[in-house]
């Protein structure tokens, strides 16, 4: 816990690109409701951390002169922070198990690995978006809209 103040997810490129699954748009659309809930839990824990950190810092600065109730509060905050951080780590592992990459924890953006033109890419979704609308190559952060033809192909196949 101590010293960790930023909660940006590790860059997706740090993972072995070859080890990531290749998910179809159909699969991603089916996974999205679950991932939305999981990411909501991640962001709730993150908000707890961000809310508690200033109080922790304040209590840490004066820890040698704290009254007993203030010391209790300091211990309580440290415990809550440790729990929230453990929850965030567990959620990142859960997403990883699903084959989903947390691209930006602060923004609540995840990537669903796929292939586009024989290049690794991600279908990208950010918490609060009403659906899946963007994709980008794994080595490029330029978000592109999902082409209507890709969506139409799924609809015609009756898979959505």
The per-residue pLDDT for 17 is: 56
pLDDT per position as a tens digit, 66-83: 999 999 999 999 999 999
Structure tokens that stand for 82 in this block? 């440790």
Structure tokens that stand for 80 in this block? 């809550």
Nearest to 39 by CA among 97, 130, 123, 107: 107
The per-residue pLDDT for 156 is: 61
The per-residue pLDDT for 20 is: 79
pTM here is 0.80
């Amino acid at each position: 816990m101590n010293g960790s103040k930023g909660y940006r997810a590790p860059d997706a490129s740090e993972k072995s690109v070859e080890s990531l699954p290749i998910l179809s748009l159909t699969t991603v659309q089916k996974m999205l409701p679950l991932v939305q809930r999981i990411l909501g839990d991640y962001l709730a824990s993150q908000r707890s951390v961000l809310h508690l950190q200033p109080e922790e810092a304040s209590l840490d600065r004066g820890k040698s002169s704290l009254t007993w109730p203030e010391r209790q509060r300091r211990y309580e905050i440290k415990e809550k922070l440790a729990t929230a951080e453990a929850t965030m780590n567990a959620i990142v592992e859960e997403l990883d198990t699903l084959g989903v990459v947390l691209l930006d924890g602060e923004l609540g953006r995840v990537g669903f690995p796929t292939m586009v033109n024989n290049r690794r890419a991600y279908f990208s979704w950010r918490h609060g978006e009403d659906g899946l609308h963007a994709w980008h190559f794994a080595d490029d952060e330029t978000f592109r809209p999902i082409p209507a033809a890709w969506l139409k192909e799924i609809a015609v196949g009756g898979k959505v």
